[in-house]
């Protein structure tokens, strides 16, 4: 059974020669009552820890960023090499006439690269939370700090990689003369929805990944297969199994809308887009509560 934790402030002297000067430090009191027994207090404490963990999240992000690219020859190029290589396969097949894809006037290399770059942002959002938890295990068992900080650090990394990929995305659009229209104003909303959906899935998987490392290993394989089931390198179909998937695959409207906002096409999936965005926000909140409840059990299993 999980326990509740409440915060109050303690006053301590601020330096030996400070006289009457004091500063306040938060004191956390643990009780055996279940966390879900006081939902408002639980949500309030989560919000407090999110605010309190901002600086630590930034420090963790800087540390992880340095470690990720420190011993590589290509450095930050690795941020967009995986989606670039993935799109090359389909570009080769299309150039050889093995597959023919009608992209509605958009050059297929640009169409495929935009799709794979968007898909990679979604996959990064899924893996950020489980990877951040795995990387912080040693710290979790030794130091008491706002646990939500490791989730924010993972999101910072997703945003950083996304900004790097935006450079490649801009180069692709310029090289193949893809001219955006007013719909490009919707692109930030589309990317926020794509990241939120990925974060919601990743957050749901994070407690399980803390118990079983298989989850973290399975995500890249599932993502590779999922890319083929989503209109990433081909337009959404209207018939057959691909047409059914385009309607019921929850990621399809997000990918389609994000790409349409770049290519200047009419945004044809907005109702489904906003419905999925709302669902992703709800799942993210529930996942955040589940993460909070699961952390004491995870830390106990880790040996903390």
| Cβ atoms 193, 280 nearer than 8 A | yes
Greater confidence, 248 or 155? 155
| Cβ atoms 30, 10 nearer than 8 A | no
- What is the CB neighbour count within 10 angstroms for residue 132? 24
Does the structure show a pLDDT above 90 at 69?
Answer: no
Please name the helix (run of DSSP H) or strand (run of DSSP E) that holds residue 189, with its range, or none: helix 187-211
Does the structure show a pLDDT above 70 at 181?
Answer: yes
pLDDT in tens, 15-35: 444 445 555 656 666 566 666
| Cβ atoms 295, 147 nearer than 8 A | yes
CA within 13 Å, CB half, 202: 30
pLDDT band at 2 (very low <50, low <70, confident <90, very high): very low
Per-residue b or e along 46-62, where b marks 16 or more CB atoms closer than 10 Å to that residue's CB: beebbeebeebbeebbe
- Length of the chain (residues): 304
pLDDT in tens, 133-145: 888 878 887 888 8
At 254 the pLDDT is 94
The helices-and-strands tally (H runs, E runs) of the chain is: 11, 2
pLDDT above 70 covers a percentage of the chain that reads 87
Alpha-carbon distance values, 299 to 29, 86, 199, 292, 304 (Å): 18, 37, 22, 11, 5
- What is the CB neighbour count within 10 angstroms for residue 287? 21
User: Averaged over 211-240, what is the pLDDT?
Assistant: 86
For every residue of 25-69, DSSP letters joined together read EEEEEEESS-GGGSHHHHHHHHHHHHHHTHHHHHHHHHHHHHHHH
At 6 the pLDDT is 53
DSSP state of 12: E
Does the structure show a pLDDT above 90 at 85?
Answer: no
| Cβ atoms 131, 33 nearer than 8 A | no
């Amino acid at each position: 059974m999980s326990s509740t934790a409440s915060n109050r402030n303690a006053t301590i002297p601020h330096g030996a020669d400070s006289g009457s000067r004091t500063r306040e430090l938060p004191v956390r009191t643990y009780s055996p009552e279940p966390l879900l027994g006081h939902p408002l207090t639980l949500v309030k404490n989560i919000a407090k820890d999110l605010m309190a963990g901002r600086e630590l999240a930034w420090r963790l992000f800087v540390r992880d960023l340095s470690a990720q690219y420190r011993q590589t020859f290509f450095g930050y190029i690795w941020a967009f090499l995986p989606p670039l290589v993935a799109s090359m396969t389909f570009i080769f097949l299309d150039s050889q006439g093995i597959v023919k894809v009608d992209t509605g006037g958009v050059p297929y290399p640009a169409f495929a690269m935009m799709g794979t770059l968007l898909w990679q942002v979604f996959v990064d959002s899924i893996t950020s939370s489980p990877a951040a938890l795995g990387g912080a295990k040693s710290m979790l068992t030794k130091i008491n700090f706002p646990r939500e900080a490791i989730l924010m650090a993972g999101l910072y990394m997703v945003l950083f990689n996304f900004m790097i990929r935006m450079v490649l995305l801009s180069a692709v659009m310029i090289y193949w003369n893809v001219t955006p229209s007013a719909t490009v104003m919707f692109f930030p909303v589309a990317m926020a929805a794509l990241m939120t959906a990925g974060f919601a899935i990743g957050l749901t998987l994070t407690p399980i990944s803390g118990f079983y490392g298989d989850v973290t290993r399975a995500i890249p394989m599932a993502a590779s297969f999922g890319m083929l089931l989503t209109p990433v390198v081909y337009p959404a179909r209207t018939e057959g199994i691909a047409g059914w998937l385009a309607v019921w695959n929850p990621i399809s409207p997000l990918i389609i809308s994000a790409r349409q906002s770049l290519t200047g096409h009419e945004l044809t999936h907005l109702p489904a887009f906003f419905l999925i965005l709302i669902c992703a926000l709800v799942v993210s909140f529930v996942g955040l509560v589940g993460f909070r409840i699961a952390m004491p059990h995870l830390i106990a299993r880790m040996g903390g």
